Amino acid sequence: MTVFPVTVAVAVVLAALALGVYLSWRATRLHRLHVRVDIARAALEEALRRRGAAVLDLVAARVRAADDPRGGDHGQVPAPVEELMAAATAALATRGAVRGRGGPGHGALGHGGLDPAVLGDGGPDAAGPSEDGRTGPIDGGAARQARYELAESRLSRALRAAVEPADGHVGAVVGVPSEEVRERLAAVAAAARSVQLARTFYNDAVSDTRRARRSRPVRLFRLAGTAPLPDYFDIDDQAPRTPYSMAEPDTL
Amino acid sequence: MGMRVGLVCPYAWDVPGGVQQHVGDLADALAAMGHEVSVLAPVGDTEAALPDHLVPAGRPVPVPYNGSVARVAFGPRAAARVRRWIAEGGFDLLHIHEPAAPSVSLLACWAADGPLVATFHTSNPRSRAMAVGSGALRSAMEKINGRIAVSEAARRTLVEHLGGDAVLIPNGVAADAFARAEPLPGWPGEGGSLGFLGRVDEPRKGLAVLARAFVRLAESRPGLRLMVAGPGDPEAALADVPARLRSRVAVLGRLSEADRVRAYHSTDVFCAPNLGGESFGIVLTEAMAAGAAIVASDIPAFAAVLDGGGAGDLFAAGDSDDLAARAGALLDDGARRAELSAAARLAVRAYDWGTVAADVARVYETVLMWDGAGHGHPSGVRLDTGPSATALLRRGQV
């Protein structure tokens, strides 16, 4: 008669133990996904910052080359180059504004873990987390997030318009005989490719995390805790086709 | 700045195959760029000459996988070797090839914690291994920080089975190594010749399609010959070739590396009659690098590599009549062959290992950009310690 309750008690303890192990496994997986999203987000923002900076370098070189007597355009900077400069400046400023509101963060990378200064120039209001203590581009941040995405998309378009040939003419950035422009353009092309990579990896991490967050045990036992649901980063990130990558000397 | 990279190859190193070759070439290209590389792979023949950076992961066993026989290593002993390799390697990052393959690749996904990059090679919409495992595999796959697909088809396959996304970085080809070579003795000959290279006993490589096309052409072209190079028993594929034409089919078997390069230079028209499942076609890009005039089946991966037909003629996959018609037209038109040859050499440059490995290294840099920064972990790859109870306590606090 006394065997029965003991058996039940043992079974209950074992089941609780098994559940505990299972839940901590799920929590560990989810934690790892959140870390992955955070790292990927930081990498994406850094890649975007580097692209913006590389574009400004390119524009500066192009403006110098415009004064080149050997074939510059007599100090006149073509319109696509001006738009390129405006787009890059706007993208960097918008990024600063987003970061200033507490960063990309769903966590430590945004503040606390890393000095915002390490992450790049934080913009005018990079002083700290937002007043309401929320961290992500959730809440009011959604609008800022949208502005950020639009600004980066505009930069991608401006870059293509200024670099790629159209109507039988070479791109406005390229139409000067300057080795410096050529080098900086290669750097911009590499930075634009890094943006594509970083964005794919970030959205991939977001997709995995959102799927994990939908699963039953995660919702039932609130394994996500207070972590905000990460959002996709949707921009036009198509890189420009540079004339140099299209026509290299035939070495074969 | 050099990185310390661990590459994981799931298939037996001493058996030729697309993934093995990819990993080997990538390792060489990365080393040439100044990175430190270690490759973990199953090795069957312990006597085989192995490159210095190769670490054997145990003896492989043959298992049917994705329509062919894969030689993989799985089990406690392989797992122990994987763990030791990770623990002792001190890697900045692991790059795991075909991570869903039930071999050291999957074991490495499970065993590792830290920056992981994975390359997906398979393009098979009905990949049973991936479909069956998609739930069980998820815990391994979701650790991967950066996914690479070698073709649009491979990318689609992985998106369908696992969700998420991947960046596209094609297979590389060591174009310079194939650019110039003497034809094999006696080739291409006066009467015209067709060439095939690949496993001859694997139906999806399509040798049977080419054999039927050859029979059709050979009736009206008394001098035409067919060169078949590659491992395996070709009898089944050549069953449709009547005895009187057999003497005009040269079966060369497996070729040495040097002879393989020469084989691409040995025929008038090179045929790639694959029926599908080929995510990329390393043979195709090698033939392009050699400047062969190519007729290939119009499966999406081949059409993409051949610029939609600009760098090689495409025929309806599986249709030996169509193949015969196009190969025949090319045999008769030397000018067109020269044109395709030049176009192929140009188009293949996008797939040169120099270009490709630089893009792969950029993936590494992107993944490593914030590794270890600010989330309380050490940087680099370490052993996974498994589920942790503290994860339950600090829910949501990254």
| A3, A170, B22, B157, B168 from B149: Cα distances, Å | 59, 33, 13, 9, 5
> What pLDDT sits at residue B160?
84
Instruction: Indicate whether B39 pLDDT > 70.
Output: yes
Does B223 reside within a domain? yes
In chain A, residues with a C-beta closer than 8 Å to the C-beta of B139 are 29
Please write the tens of the pLDDT for every residue from B330-360: 999 999 999 999 999 988 888 888 889 999 9
> What pLDDT sits at residue B11?
93
Closest CA in chain B for residue A119 = B370
Instruction: Indicate whether B81 pLDDT > 50.
Output: yes
Over residues B27-50, the mean pLDDT reads: 91
Distance from CA of A199 to the nearest CA of B (A): 10
Q: Which residue among A27, A108, A208 places its CB closest to the CB of B375?
A: A108
Check CB contact under 8 Å for B346 and A47.
no
Check CB contact under 8 Å for A28 and B388.
yes
Higher pLDDT, B276 or A187: A187
pLDDT band at A104 (very low <50, low <70, confident <90, very high): very low
Does A38 reside within a domain? yes
| DSSP secondary structure, B8-58, as one string | E--S-TTS--HHHHHHHHHHHHHHHTT-EEEEEE--S-TTS---TTEEE--
pLDDT band at A123 (very low <50, low <70, confident <90, very high): very low
Q: How many Cα atoms within 13 Å fall on the side-chain side of residue B296?
A: 32
Does B195 reside within a domain? yes
Closest CA in chain A for residue B386 = A25
Over residues B371-394, the mean pLDDT reads: 75
> What pLDDT sits at residue A241?
72
pLDDT band at A127 (very low <50, low <70, confident <90, very high): very low
Q: Whole domain around residue B257: which residue ranges?
A: 175-351
Q: Which residue among A27, A107, A197 places its CB closest to the CB of B167?
A: A197
Check CB contact under 8 Å for B175 and A252.
yes
Q: How many percent of chain B have pLDDT more than 90?
A: 57
> What pLDDT sits at residue B377?
62
ipTM of this complex prediction, to 2 decimal places: 0.79
Check CB contact under 8 Å for B373 and A42.
yes
Please write the tens of the pLDDT for every residue from B187-200: 988 889 999 998 89
Is residue A126 within 8 A of residue A104, CB to CB? The reply is no
B357 and B347 in one domain? no
Over residues A31-42, the mean pLDDT reads: 92
> What pLDDT sits at residue B47?
79
- In CATH, what number is assigned to the domain containing residue B236? 3.40.50.2000
In chain A, residues with a C-beta closer than 8 Å to the C-beta of B152 are none
B361 and B346 in one domain? no
pLDDT band at B1 (very low <50, low <70, confident <90, very high): low
Q: Which residues pair with B250 in a beta bridge?
A: B227
> What pLDDT sits at residue B28?
92
pLDDT band at A3 (very low <50, low <70, confident <90, very high): low
Whether residue A233 lies within 8 A of chain B, CB to CB, comes out as no
B339 and B191 in one domain? yes
Q: Which residues pair with A169 in a beta bridge?
A: A166
The count of domains in chain A is 1
B198 and B133 in one domain? no
| A91, B248, B267, B276, B352 from B189: Cα distances, Å | 63, 11, 8, 31, 30
Q: Which two tokens stand for residue B181?
A: 């070579």
Instruction: Indicate whether B396 pLDDT > 90.
Output: no
Please write the tens of the pLDDT for every residue from A193-232: 999 999 999 999 999 999 999 988 888 888 888 888 999 9
Q: How many percent of chain A have pLDDT more than 70?
A: 71
B386 and B275 in one domain? no
Instruction: Indicate whether B260 pLDDT > 80.
Output: yes
CA-only gyration radius of chain A, Å: 25
> What pLDDT sits at residue B46?
75
**Strand bridging mode B112-113 / B382-383:** antiparallel
Is residue B356 within 8 A of residue B310, CB to CB? The reply is no
Does A213 reside within a domain? yes
- Among A60, A56, A63, A57, CA closest to A78: A63
Chain B interface, mutation test: which of A208, A226, A233, most B Cβ atoms within 10 Å?
A208
Does A31 reside within a domain? yes
Does A143 reside within a domain? yes
Whether residue A200 lies within 8 A of chain B, CB to CB, comes out as yes
> What pLDDT sits at residue A135?
47
Does A248 reside within a domain? no
Instruction: Indicate whether A14 pLDDT > 90.
Output: yes
Whether residue A219 lies within 8 A of chain B, CB to CB, comes out as no
Chain A interface, mutation test: which of B360, B370, B382, B384, most A Cβ atoms within 10 Å?
B370
Mean pLDDT, chain A, whole residue set: 77
Over residues B301-320, the mean pLDDT reads: 91
Mean pLDDT, chain B, whole residue set: 88
Q: Which residue among B147, B369, B396 places its CB closest to the CB of A204?
A: B147
B343 and B362 in one domain? no
B127 and B182 in one domain? no
Q: Within 10 Å of residue A121's Cβ, how many Cβ atoms?
A: 15
The count of domains in chain B is 2
> What pLDDT sits at residue A74?
61
Instruction: Indicate whether B70 pLDDT > 60.
Output: yes
Is residue A88 within 8 A of residue A56, CB to CB? The reply is yes
> What pLDDT sits at residue B218?
93
Q: Which residue among B163, B289, B398 places its CB closest to the CB of A34?
A: B398
B179 and B110 in one domain? no
Over residues A81-102, the mean pLDDT reads: 81
Calculate helix-pair angle for A3-66, A79-100, nearest 10 degrees.
Answer: 150
Whether residue B265 lies within 8 A of chain A, CB to CB, comes out as no
> What pLDDT sits at residue B296?
96
B162 and B50 in one domain? yes
Q: Whole domain around residue A211: which residue ranges?
A: 23-124+135-230
Q: Which of residues 164-183 of B touch A (CB under 8 A)?
A: 164-167, 175-176, 179
Q: Which two tokens stand for residue A32?
A: 């790892």
Chain B interface, mutation test: which of A45, A197, A246, most B Cβ atoms within 10 Å?
A197
pLDDT band at B397 (very low <50, low <70, confident <90, very high): low
Q: CA–CA separation, B287 vs B314, rounded Å?
A: 15
Q: Which two tokens stand for residue A171?
A: 């791109």
Instruction: Indicate whether B20 pLDDT > 50.
Output: yes
Closest CA in chain A for residue B348 = A252
Higher pLDDT, B147 or A222: B147
Check CB contact under 8 Å for B398 and A29.
no
Instruction: Indicate whether A79 pLDDT > 70.
Output: yes
Over residues B223-245, the mean pLDDT reads: 92
Instruction: Indicate whether A50 pLDDT > 90.
Output: yes
B330 and B382 in one domain? no
Helix (H/G/I), strand (E/B), else coil: A249: coil
Does A215 reside within a domain? yes
Helix (H/G/I), strand (E/B), else coil: B43: coil
B130 and B63 in one domain? yes
Over residues B317-342, the mean pLDDT reads: 95
Whether residue B303 lies within 8 A of chain A, CB to CB, comes out as no
Does B398 reside within a domain? no
Instruction: Indicate whether B373 pLDDT > 80.
Output: no
Q: How many percent of chain B have pLDDT more than 70?
A: 92
